[in-house]
């Protein structure tokens, strides 16, 4: 019996010479008790080191005190992970801390679509789903069961129905494009990923509207996220096959690193001949000296946890928190010339 700390509400009641009801009321500031009794109970509880059993409380209140974190990009990969991705450690670590600050626990929920999932997996108070794609089966499942949920990154099609927080993809994209432009580049190519999540979709849209506004012919390439640096090299080959761009903005850091390498091999100088920037900071961009965005996963996680907590307790503040955009911070490095 690992869970039981041994001391129950009954022990406290006995010690304080009152009923268990009195104990419950005293400790939760409910009911009508004289201040004297309240104090006596508190003292007894403290002396015994009493902590109400979570499970019993959960059974009664139908509230677990725990949130689930579903990291979609990880589910896709099984238990192996592409190297260099520290984003998710930062995100989940921050989420766990933010949850703890609210007196909640955070559970890592691995792929819910696999048939026998662990028992607790669907019994939590609410779920954070990161980067859902179009028609994401997990989102569908949670919606069907009517379980509270927020997404990190909008659900591309159902964002009206599901509260979300996200990186400010539109703003970030424009900011980065302006940074590149301020370095003198005019023809700026854009390399996005192929996953159908809001991160890709919103940035692409922002790029198009920026091009339209500035009278620039858009040059868009989509490269699978999983293609890594090689995908970047290939993108470079295709971009430089035609009218060479003066700058390239990549969403994925590894693509950017691959492009950089390919260009160097062609004898092009960065940033003198070409500027390069990436939307997500990772070890690749850091070690290659590529200007990138810090997407601030810990701020994002904190916002998501706060929102979900409000949602689960029908707190009206949920309305304000919904749609929070976390602005990325440009980290200027040697691959760009301009100022932000």
Contacts to DNA by CB under 7 A = 4, 8-10, 17-25, 27-28, 30-34, 36-37, 50-53, 56-57, 59-62
Q: How far is the CB of 267 from a second copy (least distance, A)?
A: 21
Decide if residue 282 touches a second copy (CB under 8 A). yes
Residues that bind a second copy (rule: CB under 8 A) add up to a total of: 76
Decide if residue 42 touches a second copy (CB under 8 A): no
Q: Count CB-CB contacts under 10 A for residue 7.
A: 16
What is the smallest separation between the CB atom of 17 and DNA, expressed in angstroms? 7
Pick 3 or 269: Cβ nearer DNA = 3
Q: Which does 300 bind (CB under 5 to 8 A by kind): a second copy, DNA, none?
A: none
Instruction: Give which of a second copy, DNA, none residue 125 binds (C-beta under 5 to 8 Å, depending on kind).
Output: a second copy
User: Applying CB under 8 A, which of residues 11, 53, 246, 315 lies at the interface with a second copy?
Assistant: 53
By the rule CB under 8 A, 314 interacts with a second copy: no
Nearer to DNA, 41 or 192 (CB): 41
Neighbours of 122 (CB within 10 A): 15
- Using CA atoms, how far apart are residues 97 and 67, in angstroms rounded to an integer? 12
Nearer to a second copy, 282 or 306 (CB): 282
Q: Which of 13, 45, 109, 181 binds a second copy (CB under 8 A)?
A: 109
Confirm if 253 and 282 have CB atoms less than 8 A apart.
yes
Least separation in angstroms between CB 81 and a second copy: 5
Q: Which is nearer to a second copy, 183 or 231 (CB)?
A: 231
Query: Is residue 211 left, alpha or beta, with left meaning phi > 0 and alpha meaning psi from -120 to 50?
Result: alpha
Helix ranges (DSSP H) in 240-296: 253-265, 283-288
123: partner contacted, choices DNA, a second copy, none (Cβ within 5-8 A by kind): a second copy
Residue among 114, 142, 111 at smallest CA distance from 126: 142
- Tallying the residues shown for the chain, one arrives at 340
Question: Binding residue for a second copy (CB under 8 A) from 10, 31, 47, 120?
Answer: 120
Q: Does residue 1 touch a second copy according to CB under 8 A?
A: yes
DSSP bridge pairs for 278: 250, 292
Using the rule CB under 8 A, give the single segment among 110-118, 152-160, 201-209, 263-271 that binds a second copy: 110-118
Q: Which of residues 141-180 bind a second copy (CB under 8 A)?
A: 145, 147-148
Residue listed under structure tokens 């309240």: 38
Shortest Å distance, C-beta 116 to DNA: 15
Provide the Cα torsion 38, 41, 43, 49; round to 10°.
Answer: -140
Nearest distance from C-beta of residue 11 to DNA, angstroms: 8
Residues 65-94 that bind a second copy (CB under 8 A): 65-66, 69, 71, 74, 78-81, 83-86, 88-90, 92-94
Cβ 277 vs Cβ 246: under 8 Å: no
Where in the chain does DSSP place strands (E)? 66-71, 105-108, 126-130, 149-152, 164-167, 188-192, 219-222, 247-250, 275-278, 291-294, 325-326, 329-331
Q: Which is nearer to a second copy, 198 or 312 (CB)?
A: 312
Instruction: Specify the stretch interacting with a second copy by CB under 8 A; choose among 3-11, 181-189, 190-198, 201-209.
Output: 3-11
Give the burial class of 339: count Cβ atoms within 10 A of its Cβ; 0-12 exposed, 13-18 middle, 19 or more buried.
Answer: exposed
- Which of a second copy, DNA, none does residue 93 bind to, with CB < 5 to 8 Å depending on kind? a second copy
| Angstrom distances, CA of residue 218 to CA of 211, 212, 312 | 6, 8, 43
């Amino acid at each position: 019996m690992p869970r039981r700390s041994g001391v129950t509400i009954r022990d406290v009641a006995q010690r304080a010479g009152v009923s268990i009801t009195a104990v419950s009321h005293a400790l939760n500031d409910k009911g009508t008790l004289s201040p004297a009794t309240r104090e006596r109970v508190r003292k007894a509880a403290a002396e015994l080191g009493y902590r109400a059993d979570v499970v019993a409380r959960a059974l009664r209140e139908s509230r677990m005190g725990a949130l689930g974190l579903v990291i979609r990009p990880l589910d896709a990969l099984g238990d192996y992970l592409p190297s260099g991705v520290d984003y998710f450690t930062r995100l989940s670590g921050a989420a766990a801390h933010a949850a703890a600050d609210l007196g909640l626990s955070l559970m890592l929920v691995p792929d819910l679509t696999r048939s026998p999932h662990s028992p607790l997996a669907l019994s939590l108070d609410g779920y954070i789903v990161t980067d859902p794609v179009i028609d994401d089966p997990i989102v569908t499942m949670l919606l069907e069961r009517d379980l509270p949920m927020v997404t990190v990154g909008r659900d591309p099609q159902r964002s009206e129905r599901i509260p979300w927080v996200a990186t400010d993809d539109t703003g970030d994209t424009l900011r980065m494009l302006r940074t590149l432009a301020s370095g003198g580049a005019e023809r700026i190519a854009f390399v996005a990923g192929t996953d159908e999540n809001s991160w890709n979709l919103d940035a692409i849209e922002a790029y198009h509207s920026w091009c339209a506004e500035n009278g620039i012919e858009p040059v868009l390439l989509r490269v699978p996220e999983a293609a890594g640096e090689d995908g970047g090299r290939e993108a470079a080959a295709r971009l430089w096959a035609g009218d060479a761009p003066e700058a390239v903005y990549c969403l994925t850091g590894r693509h950017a690193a691959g492009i950089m390498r390919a260009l160097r091999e062609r004898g092009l100088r960065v940033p003198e001949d070409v500027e390069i920037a990436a939307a997500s900071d990772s070890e690749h961009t850091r070690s290659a000296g590529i200007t990138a965005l810090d997407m601030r996963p810990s701020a994002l996680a904190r916002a998501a946890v706060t929102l979900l907590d409000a949602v689960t307790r029908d707190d009206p503040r949920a309305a304000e928190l919904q749609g929070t955009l976390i602005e990325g911070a440009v980290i200027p490095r040697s691959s760009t010339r301009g100022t932000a």
